[in-house]
Amino acid sequence: MPTFYSTEVTSRLMLGTAQYPSPTILADAFRRSGAGIATVSVRREAGGDQAGQDFWTLIRDLGVAVLPNTAGCYSVREAVTTAQMARELFDTNWIKLEVIGHADTLQPDPFGLVDAAAQLSDDGFEVFPYCTEDLVLCERLVEVGCKVLMPWGAPIGTGLGLNNIYGLRSLRAHFPDIPLVVDAGLGLPSHAAQAMELGYDAVLLNTAVAKAGDPAAMAQAFALAVEAGALAAQADAMDARDMAAPSTPVFGKAML
């Protein structure tokens, strides 16, 4: 199982907690998924109100690790302040760092992301940066202290799957010892399996489960797909080829 900042988690599947039809359905989805980490938006779950306290009780009862995020932050200052609030609220140094640079695609701001990651790392945070698959950006993030990288598969909430297979494969080859998590854009269990087949350590998703007709069933489907993809990667799959090759040997075949 993957290890993030010296902490081993129980599953390769990470789930968000937004947009579920009800708290009961959210809890059922987590239980059937076996997810080891729940991401929580600090902006949605204010610690002082009753709704926030009820939500926090629900998450604690799931028995999973909590990864607060800075979702919706468009500036370095906003993201850093939100992260500091999250540490007080959830009593963890983990933070999923989002610094959004484009409102339509929700693409990260690479310059702001590196700046915020550097500040938070210096302040003792263990940063999980939501980034693109750009190698130069990811190198900068590692240089400022990030020990996990979370490149997107596609823009958040689109369900398009892995838009840049080449880029994601190159990132895995370039950082063989850094835990990599595909974060955002996965719409089908097959997308998650594909990410794991590329050698990624985990996937994080929200909308594909929360907005499904049966979120709990979809969560279980993703869990099975993630494990299948990881097992395939460990099994050293055959290389693709352009020409057909017989699976049954022809040596020794009777000549008629």
**For residues 244 and 250, what is the distance between their CA atoms, to the nearest angstrom?**
14
Q: For residue 245, what are its two tokens? A: 């090759």
Q: For residue 90, what are its two tokens? A: 């959830």
If residue 40 lies in a helix (H) or strand (E), which one and from where to where?
A: strand 37-41
**For residues 3 and 9, what is the distance between their CA atoms, to the nearest angstrom?**
6
Q: How far is CA 172 from CA 111, 144, 199, 209, in A?
A: 22, 19, 7, 26
> Of 94, 44, 89, which Cα lies nearest the Cα of 66?
94
Are β-strands 150-151 and 126-131 bridged in parallel, bridged antiparallel, or unpaired?
Answer: parallel
- The catalytic residue among 96, 147, 211, 253 is 96
Q: How far is CA 113 from CA 72, 74, 110, in A?
A: 13, 10, 5
Q: Is 147 part of the annotated catalytic residue set?
A: no
Which residues lie below 8 Å from residue 176, measured CB to CB, with a gap of 6+?
none
**For residues 90 and 71, what is the distance between their CA atoms, to the nearest angstrom?**
16
Cβ atoms within 10 Å, residue 209: 29
Cβ atoms within 10 Å, residue 253: 8
256 close to 222: Cβ distance less than 8 angstroms: no
DSSP assignment, residue 255? P
Active site residues: 96
